[in-house]
Amino acid sequence: MNLVIDVGNTLIKLAVFNNNTLVLKKAVAEHTIIKTVTEIKMDYPNLVTAIISSVGKLQQSTLIFLESQFSLQVLSAEVMLPFTNLYETPNTLGVDRIALVAASVKQFPKQDVLIIDAGTCLTFDFINKQKQYLGGAISPGLQMRYQALHNFTAKLPLLEREMPAKLIGASTNAAIHSGVVYGVLNELDGVINEYKLRYPDLSVILTGGDAKFLSKQLKSSIFALSDFLLEGLNYILQYNINE
């Protein structure tokens, strides 16, 4: 059994896998992670291997604790990967993006795949059917756009995401929702269409915290997969154990 730890910008996600089957998933704040992992180990005594992916901040004491409890793999550009990484600056490639690409290799073998992670940022990652990762794009996510409108203006309010009732916003709040949400939706559809012009048999995966909110509004055909990053981390861990 494997423990997967995804340290994000706001929460830490923990997942237990029995081979390829997800059997437990939790999201916690960092100050509770040691207590939560201790409880998980009591419930799953055969849990001895783990992988951690971190794009957020993690206390050194927490990392030392995890290393004392598991055979721990810390995901980085130096870890063996189940694909060829052709990114020109591999050491700057986010570990979350690495995990998503790995998941696509496992679940969509021998296919051209575009993975879109709709979280704090929108990230686009492309891997071809030869298992060559070519790169992608990064732009602001939904909440970052709402935050930017508030932070960089004197009077615009900070709003929570909301699907616009109409395209034409008849109030300031409605105009913000229209601009942010339709802006993201049209960006997603536009990028997907550009990729499909070059790769007609493209498979598109949408994941991340805003995936469910956005998926039903997209014109493009996609796979909305909520646990894709966790599955990719588990696959990387298994790949390194078996090599």
Which residues belong to the annotated binding site for K(+)? 117
Length of the chain in terms of residues written: 243
Q: Note whether 232 and 99 are within 8 A (CB).
A: yes
Alpha-carbon distance of 24 to 228, in angstroms, equals: 14
Catalytic entry in 43, 96, 112, 227: 96
CB atoms within 10 A of CB 216: 8
Active site residue 125: no
Q: Note whether 41 and 69 are within 8 A (CB).
A: yes
Binding residues: 6-13, 87, 94-97, 117, 120, 172
Binding residues for ATP: 6-13, 120
Binding residues for substrate: 87, 94-97, 172
Q: Tell me the two tokens of residue 43.
A: 């419930």
Q: How far is CA 193 from the centre of its chain?
A: 21
Write the secondary structure of 196-226 as one string of H (helix), E (strand) and C (coil). HHHCCCCEEEEECCCHHHHHCCCCCCCEECC
Q: Say how many Å lie between the first and final Cα of the chain, rounded.
A: 17
Q: Active-site positions?
A: 96
